[in-house]
Structure 1
Amino acid sequence: MTDRALFSVAGIRTEQMHAAPPKRRRKFPFLPLTFLCLILLGCAFAGLWTAKDPSYLDLANYSKAPDAEFLFGTDTLGRDIFSCIWYGGRVSLLIGFAATALSTAIAILYGSVSGMAPVRLDGILMRLTEVFLSVPSLLTAIFIQAILGEATVFSISLVIGVTSWCSIAKIVRTEVRQIRNSEYVVASKCMGGGFFHVLRWHLAPNFVSSIMFMVVMNVRSAIVAESTLSFMGIGLPLDVISWGSMLSLSEDALLTRAWWMVLIPGAFLISVLMCLTALGNWLRKNVNQKESNL
């Protein structure tokens, strides 16, 4: 081997040694996702493996500590907390997913209209969004719920959904403005494609990955909002069992030192929120990594 060949090989090895290490993909959160799926399955099929009726008021065993008969104890109304956890999880998770579906639909429609609109109309729509964002969503939810009257699962989902779409709409608007003049979008419009056709086949596939993180986090925020409203006494009534309505009894529980009424529903709620946070962070890191590699 000649001297020139040796120098070239050495140069290649030096460049390889100083090259930036490849970016590792964030590990998929198998454990949080598995736990979340177990919670979802447990709530969905609660009737198959819970022996007690969650709405039965066993006044002879109210505020009873966990034992062999009542695994998680009973609350101040005599209801079995173990059964209430799984049946109440249905309501809390249903509100979380329903409110998120509504807020995502509003955000996609509003953000796409703003992104495709002329500059002046786009500016007006974005100013309205910023005004809406400047008002705390909890106050807006309380105001709307007061107008609707008695809280139900439908009304709570509606209230949370219509107050939590602004952040996603701003991202959708930004993504749409970047791709609205692309050749395939212009060609689709020239061939007679309407707004919803262009949105379904050309716009949405390009921004859906960018909003998945916020969609998952909106599920978490909706569950927290339902729990907060119930804790404040303006959410679901006590006869509609949810994790939030169970926590609304925490004041009586603390006065009687019945820790299980607060700890057990709170532990399930926090665990689900942590699982959703882990999944959302994984989606955010992967989207950012893909954008940096482009």
Structure 2
Amino acid sequence: MQNKKYASQGHYVAPLEETPVAAIDKLDESQKARSTWADAWESMRRRPTFWISAVLIFIIAVVALFPGLFTSVAPNSNCLLANSNGSPEAGHPFGFTRQGCDVYSRVLFGTQASVTVGLLATALVTLVGIVIGSLAGFYGGFLDALVSRVGDIFFAIPTVLGAIVLMSVLPDRTPITVALVLAIFAWPQVARIMRGAVLSAKNSDYVMASIALGVSKFKILLRHVIPNAIAPVIVIATVSLGTFIVAESTLSFLGIGLPPSVMSWGNDIGQARTSVRTSPQTLLYPAAALSLTVLSFLMLGDVVRDALDPKARARR
């Protein structure tokens, strides 16, 4: 009787177009899937810090490439002892050095050497770190153990201290030489970061699928693992550029970096320390240029880190 009762009852099924299930489950195929870099750019462009640092870095790059556009005074000409430690005047807004040279002109032309060393050192460290870290993390075994032990040896030597020792015995001191010396002692940090990122990426599903399809390991490393593991390295490279500029200035300040004939902020700061009490402007302006440049790259690195690392952004 009970079954007959339920059988006599009608069943109501709502029309499909009246239910929201189809709209919820339907994928929006009109928009293309965005990559990690597209998401990072979308995040960075909304940050005022990114635009401030980008504008400052652009100005610094233009000054480094074309310093003659901003002054008509040659940095090493018209150096008169009569203007020694002179105060600012028309055409010389920053005053004069102890040798009577224009401080404003030297600050502008010194940008080239300091930024060049920072860029070269960052490029070398990033390239070496990516190659060594990728091979060690992906292939493992004896290569990984060897790279780790060699990296530990270099980690035990402070970068600036190692550069001081090595630069003191080198006869030729050029921006390329300084960049190479800094890269020799700074590559393990990037290599270790890249190794860890590769270890995480090589166990991903797309890597396993590529192996199942018979793709060679080296092609998998180049096409899939490195592009998906390089984000942390880009962050550390952005921050390291400012660090290498400071390292070059430190070496030049100590007299074992770039020779005095090469204009750099470190050389100018080192030469100004003897007259800082009577003429503080000779130290103030190159130090301010150095600080502003380093701050710009640190600000950019902070924004890039937040954009490429959602966990870091969530912690803020």
* 1:48 paired to 2:69: yes
* 1:157 paired to 2:202: no
Structure 2 counterpart of 1:19: none
Structure 1 counterpart of 2:226: 204
Letter in 2 for 1:100: T
| Contact 1:103–1:163 (Cα < 8 Å) also in 2 | no
* 1:284 paired to 2:305: yes
| Contact 1:164–1:218 (Cα < 8 Å) also in 2 | no
Cα distance 1:62–1:219, how it changes in 2: closer, same or farther (>3 A)?
same
The CA deviation string for residues 225-253 of structure 1, in whole angstroms up to 9 with x for no partner, is: 00000111111111100111111113222
Structure 2 counterpart of 1:137: 159
Root-mean-square deviation (Å) = 2.4
**Aligned partner of residue 98 in structure 1, secondary structure:** helix
Structure 2 counterpart of 1:174: 196
Letter in 1 for 2:112: R
Gaps of 5+ in 2: 1-42
* 1:32 paired to 2:27: no
Mapping of 1:256-271 within 5 angstroms? Answer: 257-271=278-292
Give % identity: 30
Cα distance 1:132–1:156, how it changes in 2: closer, same or farther (>3 A)?
same
Partners of 1:248 and 1:148 in 2: how far apart?
Answer: 20
Partners of 1:190 and 1:145 in 2: how far apart?
Answer: 51
Structure 2 counterpart of 1:232: 254
Structure 1 counterpart of 2:170: 148
* 1:245 paired to 2:267: yes
Q: 1:188 Cα shift?
A: 6.7
The CA deviation string for residues 50-100 of structure 1, in whole angstroms up to 9 with x for no partner, is: 111112233332221111131111111222111111111011001100110
* 1:109 paired to 2:131: yes
Structure 1 counterpart of 2:90: 68
Structure 1 counterpart of 2:31: none
Q: Normalising by structure 2, what TM-score?
A: 0.78
Letter in 1 for 2:89: D
Partners of 1:71 and 1:131 in 2: how far apart?
Answer: 48
Partners of 1:189 and 1:158 in 2: how far apart?
Answer: 41
**Aligned partner of residue 248 in structure 1, secondary structure:** helix
The CA deviation string for residues 192-212 of structure 1, in whole angstroms up to 9 with x for no partner, is: 6473x4443222211222222
Partners of 2:224 and 2:271 in 1: how far apart?
Answer: 49
Partners of 1:270 and 1:292 in 2: how far apart?
Answer: 26
Letter in 2 for 1:175: A
Q: 1:141 Cα shift?
A: 0.9
Mapping of 1:185-200 within 5 angstroms? Answer: 185=207, 187=210, 193=216, 195=218, 197-200=219-222
Cα distance 1:159–1:89, how it changes in 2: closer, same or farther (>3 A)?
same
Q: 1:127 Cα shift?
A: 2.4
Q: 2:145 aligns with which of 104, 110, 123?
A: 123
Letter in 2 for 1:288: D
The CA deviation string for residues 179-224 of structure 1, in whole angstroms up to 9 with x for no partner, is: 22445546379756473x4443222211222222100111011100
Deviates more, 1:89-98 or 1:67-76: 67-76
The CA deviation string for residues 91-132 of structure 1, in whole angstroms up to 9 with x for no partner, is: 100110011000101100110111023334323321221221
Partners of 1:262 and 1:188 in 2: how far apart?
Answer: 59
Q: 1:265 Cα shift?
A: 0.6
Letter in 2 for 1:50: T
Partners of 2:54 and 2:260 in 1: how far apart?
Answer: 30
Letter in 1 for 2:123: A
Gaps of 5+ in 1: 1-24
Structure showing greater Rg = 2
Partners of 1:78 and 1:194 in 2: how far apart?
Answer: 62
The CA deviation string for residues 234-287 of structure 1, in whole angstroms up to 9 with x for no partner, is: 1111110011111111322225x1101110111111011111111111111222
Deviates more, 1:234-243 or 1:181-190: 181-190
